[in-house]
Structure 1
């Protein structure tokens, strides 16, 4: 047999065996898996919530726009209508009860001012008109000027409604 004939014979054998293998694969049934499959976990959003896991619905309170307003940044006036500064912070105790207000007092445009703390009960909140309401402090300018300055991480001295200085009782 010549070399060309042998090449044709080799190609025929290789192609023939490849065709026979592919036909056999088409006719054989697919392999059956004998181990049970575990279903994939459902997405977190599809996990049903049982009643013991369900949180109760939150309570809802509706406050009219003219009945309440934030206090931070609001101006504070004395009973004699003197400028006493602005409320810059609110002091609460560990139970969440409002105890005092921090007022940025004195100075001009923030220069030379200092923070003092006044008892929350020394403040009187007037009617809110045009998104502004009056906050009056039951102390004189001289009483507030005599109060020690508030500094973070130090004991807080609260100026009470009667003008006396009172240390804020802290819970150990």
Structure 2
């Protein structure tokens, strides 16, 4: 993971140097072939748009997150509080504002056969230490509660299982 951090840092440095070099090139006058010769005046075509430094996009911000501070959740195993296998996270549901609302868990079955997708409230998940890839994700529901939940199907209203009822319904957009 240190290699990824170094690559990201290197890319940020290269991007910053490229922006600085392009700005410096724009600010320097064109070199003349003879020191006292008048510089030729070249008119750009009418359809050409001149980009000035104020029109250029600012360089992106760069944040480096340590490998022990964050980890992806897709494909991660989920366990119950009683350490039962509850499946794995296969999708994350976000609302229109981009806030994480729920997780889709591929539950039951054996080797993908007979499994069904269940939607659980994001607040019903507890994340253990993520220092290793085997960092634990615990669901605050029992296996029986999840087994009784209706199956999630794309593009249909979803039933979200919540441990504490903390998920508020989305408001319909007229």
TM-score band (shorter)? 0.5 to 0.7
- Asked whether the equivalents of residues 69 and 131 of structure 2 are also in contact (C-alpha less than 8 Å), the reply is no
TM superposition outliers: structure 1 runs of 4+ over 3 Å:
38-41
Are 2:98 and 1:96 equivalent residues in the alignment?
A: yes
Are the structure 2 counterparts of residues 93 and 136 from structure 1 closer, same or farther at C-alpha, using a change threshold of 3 Å?
same
- Asked whether the equivalents of residues 75 and 85 of structure 1 are also in contact (C-alpha less than 8 Å), the reply is yes
Q: Distance in 2 between matches of 1:145 and 1:108?
A: 14
Q: Which structure's CA Rg is the greater one?
A: 1
Q: Distance in 1 between matches of 2:70 and 2:172?
A: 30
Greater RCO structure (CA 8 Å; 6+ sep): 2
Which SS does the other structure have where 2:145 is aligned? helix
Q: TM-score, normalised by structure 2?
A: 0.67
Deviation digits for residues 100-133 of structure 1, max 9, x if unmatched? 0000001111111100000000001111243221
Structure-2 residue corresponding to 1:62: 64
- Asked whether the equivalents of residues 155 and 167 of structure 1 are also in contact (C-alpha less than 8 Å), the reply is no
Shift of 1:40: 7.4
Are 2:147 and 1:131 equivalent residues in the alignment?
A: no
Shift of 1:171: 3.8
Gaps of 5+ in 2: 1-41
Q: TM-score, normalised by structure 1?
A: 0.68
Give the structure with the larger strand fraction: 1
Gaps of 5+ in 1: 1-37
Are 2:80 and 1:83 equivalent residues in the alignment?
A: no
